[in-house]
C-alpha cells in the first residue's frame, strides 16, 4: 500500500515538472528571424494630428433669462379697497327643493365696499404663490310678494323682510412663468395659473310677522350659508415698462355642467418706488353655488379698486 502511494505521488510530481518546463519554453521562444535577403519591417505608424474637442450635440447655447426688476413677484403684502357694482345675490330654488313653494328671492340692496388683502411668496425662480381674501356685505329691506319658502322657513306674501348677505372669497394661486419676451429694457411675461378658490355666501332674511292691527308679533329668521371649493385654471400676462411702471392682467375660472360656476378677472397698472407700490385697476367675479341643493346663490361683482403693496426688499 505504501509503495503504491509513493508511486502515485512520484507520477504527479513528474507531470507538474513537465508542464512547467513547457510553459517556460513557450515564454522564451525568440521572434522569427527574417529570411536571407529580406530586411525586417521597420515601418512606423504615421502620427495623427491632435483634433480639437467638438461640443456635444446635446449641449444647448446659453439661454436668456427673465429679468428680476419690477416683476411684482417679490416677497410682499398688499391691502386693497374694492368698490364693486353689479348684482346682489339672487337666491333660486334648486333641484333639491321639495317644498313646492317658490324659493326664488332677489336682494334689493346693492353690494357695499369691500376690503381685501394679499400675500405674495416666491417659491422658485419661475414660480410664485399668491394668497388673497376679501369680504363684501350689505343690508336692506324688502317685501315678500308671493308666499315663499327660504332655507326651510315659510314666509307669507306681503310680510316685511330685513335682509343681509355677506360674500367671502379666498384664493390660493400658483403662478408659473411659462414664457417671456424682451424688447430693450421692457419685458412681457406669460404665466399659467393653477388655483384653488373658496366662495361663501351667507344669507339672512328676517320675516317680520304682524297681526291684523299692524303690531309686530314675531321675527322669524331664515338663514343659510352656501359655499364651495373649486379648482380654477387660467392665464396671466405682465408687462414691465421700466423699473417703476408695469401692468398686469389675469383671468381664471372653472365650471361643471349643472354644478358650480366660478370666473375671476382682474387687471391693474402699478407704480413702484423703493419698498412701496401703488396699484389701480378693476376686478370681476362671477359665481354660482351648487344648483343641486335646495336653494343656491348666483351673482356677479365688478368695479374699480386701488391697492398698496409693500415689498420686503427695496428696489
pLDDT above 90: residue 98: no
Q: What is the mean pLDDT of residues 52-66?
A: 60
Q: In the predicted model, what is the mean pLDDT of residues 25-47?
A: 54
pLDDT of residue 83: 95
Mean pLDDT of the 37-49 span? 57
Condensed to tens digits (0 to 9), the pLDDT of residues 107-126 reads 999 999 999 999 999 999 89
Count of positions (residues) in the chain: 315
Residue 57's pLDDT band (boundaries 50, 70, 90)? low
Q: What is the pTM of this model?
A: 0.76
User: Which segments within the chain are labelled E, that is strand?
Assistant: 76-82, 85-93, 105-106, 114-124, 127-143, 148-150, 153-155, 160-183, 186-210, 216-240, 245-255, 261-273, 276-288, 295-311
- Residue ranges per structural domain of the chain: 76-311
List, in order, residues 6 or more apart from 105 with CB less than 8 Å away. Answer: 90, 91, 142, 148, 150, 205
pLDDT at 64 over 90: no
For the domain 76-311, what is the CATH code? 2.40.128
Amino acid at each position: 500500500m505504501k509503495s503504491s502511494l509513493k508511486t502515485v505521488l512520484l507520477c504527479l510530481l513528474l507531470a507538474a515538472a513537465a508542464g512547467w518546463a513547457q510553459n517556460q519554453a513557450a515564454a522564451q521562444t525568440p521572434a522569427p528571424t527574417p529570411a536571407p535577403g529580406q530586411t525586417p519591417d521597420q515601418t512606423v505608424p504615421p502620427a495623427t494630428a491632435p483634433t480639437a474637442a467638438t461640443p456635444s450635440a446635446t449641449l444647448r447655447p446659453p439661454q436668456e433669462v427673465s429679468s428680476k426688476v419690477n416683476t411684482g413677484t417679490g416677497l410682499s403684502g398688499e391691502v386693497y379697497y374694492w368698490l364693486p357694482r353689479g348684482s346682489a345675490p339672487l337666491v333660486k330654488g334648486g333641484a333639491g327643493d321639495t317644498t313646492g313653494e317658490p324659493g326664488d328671492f332677489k336682494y334689493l340692496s346693492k353690494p357695499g365696499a369691500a376690503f381685501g388683502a394679499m400675500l405674495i411668496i416666491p417659491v422658485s425662480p419661475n414660480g410664485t404663490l399668491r394668497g388673497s381674501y376679501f369680504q363684501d356685505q350689505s343690508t336692506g329691506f324688502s317685501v315678500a310678494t308671493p308666499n315663499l319658502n327660504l332655507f326651510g322657513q315659510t314666509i307669507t306674501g306681503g310680510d316685511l323682510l330685513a335682509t343681509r348677505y355677506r360674500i367671502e372669497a379666498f384664493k390660493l394661486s400658483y403662478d408659473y412663468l411659462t414664457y417671456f419676451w424682451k424688447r430693450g429694457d421692457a419685458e412681457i411675461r406669460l404665466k399659467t395659473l393653477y388655483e384653488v378658490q373658496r366662495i361663501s355666501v351667507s344669507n339672512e332674511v328676517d320675516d317680520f310677522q304682524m297681526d291684523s292691527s299692524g303690531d309686530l308679533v314675531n321675527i322669524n329668521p331664515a338663514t343659510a350659508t352656501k359655499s364651495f371649493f373649486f379648482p380654477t385654471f387660467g392665464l396671466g400676462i405682465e408687462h414691465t415698462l421700466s423699473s417703476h411702471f408695469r401692468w398686469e392682467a389675469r383671468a381664471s375660472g372653472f365650471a361643471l355642467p349643472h354644478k358650480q360656476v366660478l370666473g375671476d378677472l382682474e387687471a391693474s397698472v402699478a407704480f413702484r418706488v423703493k419698498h412701496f407700490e401703488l396699484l389701480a385697476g378693476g376686478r370681476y367675479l362671477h359665481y354660482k353655488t351648487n344648483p343641486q341643493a335646495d336653494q343656491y346663490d348666483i351673482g356677479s361683482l365688478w368695479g374699480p379698486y386701488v391697492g398698496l403693496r409693500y415689498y420686503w426688499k427695496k428696489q
